[in-house]
Amino acid sequence: MLEGRDIVCFANDWDGDPLSKKHVMVRLARRNRVLWVNSTGNRRPRASVGDLRRSAAKIGQFARGMRQTDEGIHVYPPIFVPLFGSAAARRLNRSLLVGGLRRARQRLGFSAPITWSFLPTSADVAGALGERLVVYHCVDEYTEFTGTDGAAVAEMERRLLARADVVIVSSGPLLEAKRRHNPNVHLVTHGVDVEHFRRACSPATAVPAELAALPRPVIGFFGLIADWVDLGLLRRLALARPEWSLVLLGKLDADPGPLAGLGNVHLFGRRPYDELPGWCKGFDVAVLPFALNELTLAANPLKLREYLAAGLPVVATPIPEVVRLGELVRTGRDAGEFAARIDELLAAGRRGPDPAASRRMDGESWDEKVRQMSEIVAAAERRAEQAVAS
């Protein structure tokens, strides 16, 4: 495990859902000092109430300045102009961010840090902070997100890939795509907080009352409900099996129209991470109904391993990282196949959390994944030191 390093991490906003970035950095922060830079975005702003609120929140965070979390991580809120297709805006952003981060480094006493970036939009800054090493940790095909300036993000990512001393990716398709631009690319799939989700198997864990009151079986999903979730598939599934309860947890960031008028579909909104094991305990089968497109084909959904760590049977769209898990997950391409796979599980008595099934995730913990990443980064450090010495 890396120890005694200073790390500047470019990621999503700290206060968002605990994505892979947070799981990695919380573990690295146990033995290293971490400066977390909140998201600089990769999407064009819209003239919407939501975007105006986000902009106001960003300005408020910047005004309050850097803060320290309970995990000992320092969170830096940048100020920036989200116009990545504009050369002038990017020059201004670089000046603002480099200046702000240099002051933050001095305040914290950081020396020769590792820049560990999850965002291609950090390309204008990576290498300008006196780093000993630049790590690009790619967990998504960022050019494919709706609303993104794809050409601008692709150009920034190419420059970051060229600058990075080492690249870590979370899926096989990302490995193939990114090593065209950097030969030092390593695959480390996502981990999972095994003990947290295994609480779904415990008799002491309570199922939320509103979930326990629903007719069984309960077919469950949790996560951000965005345009990569196939709501049309879920509508057809709900109509095909009106006796089932379909439960969706998460922020709704997509048009809910396909689910309108369906009495057996229940939207419970975003729930705290700490509560998810209780919800999992109330699921009979978990589903991952992703649309098939360039974004999802490169994805390695974190919730997939969280379902499995909860001991749940899972039916998912056959994206590559689902198929990689083999018999651990059943797959369906459409509502008919999803219904058939769920029927098979229920008929076999395979429903709800199973401690034995949960144990199959023991080797997939975040601690193990961060250990692997640490070895990769330490080897890149040694190569960099040898190059300087020669």
Q: Render 129-197 in DSSP notation, one character per residue.
A: S--SEEEEEE-S-GGGSTTB-HHHHHHHHHHHHHH-SEEEESSHHHHHHHTTT-S-EEE----B-HHHH
Average pLDDT score, the chain? 93
Is the same domain home to 339 and 352?
yes
200 within some domain: yes
Is the same domain home to 185 and 202?
no
Is the same domain home to 108 and 72?
yes
Is the same domain home to 372 and 352?
no
Number of folded domains in the chain? Answer: 2
* Residues whose CB falls within 8 Å of the CB of residue 5, separated by 6 or more in sequence, listed in order: 32, 33, 113, 114
Is the same domain home to 154 and 41?
yes
Place of tokens 């803060």: 67
Two tokens at 5?
């390093």
- Percent of the chain scored above 90 by pLDDT? 84
310 within some domain: yes
Two tokens at 46?
């819209």
How far is the C-alpha of 2 from the C-alpha of 9, rounded, in Å? 15
250 within some domain: yes
- Nearest partner of 208 among 247, 263, 261, 265, judged by Cα: 247
85 within some domain: yes
Contact in structure between 93 and 40 (CB atoms under 8 Å): yes
How far is the C-alpha of 8 from the C-alpha of 117, rounded, in Å? 8
pLDDT of residue 110: 96
What is residue 241's three-state secondary structure? coil
The amino acid occupying position 337 is: E
What is residue 282's three-state secondary structure? helix
Is the same domain home to 328 and 378?
no
1 within some domain: no
pLDDT of residue 94: 83
What's the distance, Cα to Cα, between the start and end of the chain in Å?
27
| pLDDT 10s digits, 32-74 | 999 999 987 655 555 455 555 654 555 566 557 899 999 999 9
pLDDT of residue 50: 52
pLDDT of residue 253: 94
Look up the CATH number of the domain holding residue 77: 3.40.50.2000
What is residue 145's three-state secondary structure? coil
Average pLDDT rounded to a whole number, residues 15-36 = 96
- Residue 16 CA neighbour count, 13 Å, CB half: 18
Average pLDDT rounded to a whole number, residues 350-373 = 97
Place of tokens 């109330």: 282
164 within some domain: yes
How far is the C-alpha of 306 from the C-alpha of 250, rounded, in Å? 15
What is residue 199's three-state secondary structure? helix
Contact in structure between 167 and 138 (CB atoms under 8 Å): yes
Is the same domain home to 12 and 135?
yes
pLDDT of residue 42: 56
Two tokens at 318?
């056959």
In this predicted structure, the answer to whether residue 336 has a pLDDT above a threshold of 90 is: yes
In this predicted structure, the answer to whether residue 215 has a pLDDT above a threshold of 90 is: yes
Is the same domain home to 200 and 146?
no
Is the same domain home to 97 and 202?
no
User: What domain range includes position 36?
Assistant: 6-191+365-389
Distances (CA, A) of 314 to 35, 83, 244, 309: 37, 40, 16, 11
How far is the C-alpha of 248 from the C-alpha of 149, rounded, in Å? 30
Average pLDDT rounded to a whole number, residues 377-389 = 90
How far is the C-alpha of 200 from the C-alpha of 26, rounded, in Å? 23
Contact in structure between 247 and 169 (CB atoms under 8 Å): no
Average pLDDT rounded to a whole number, residues 240-265 = 97
Is the same domain home to 353 and 369?
no
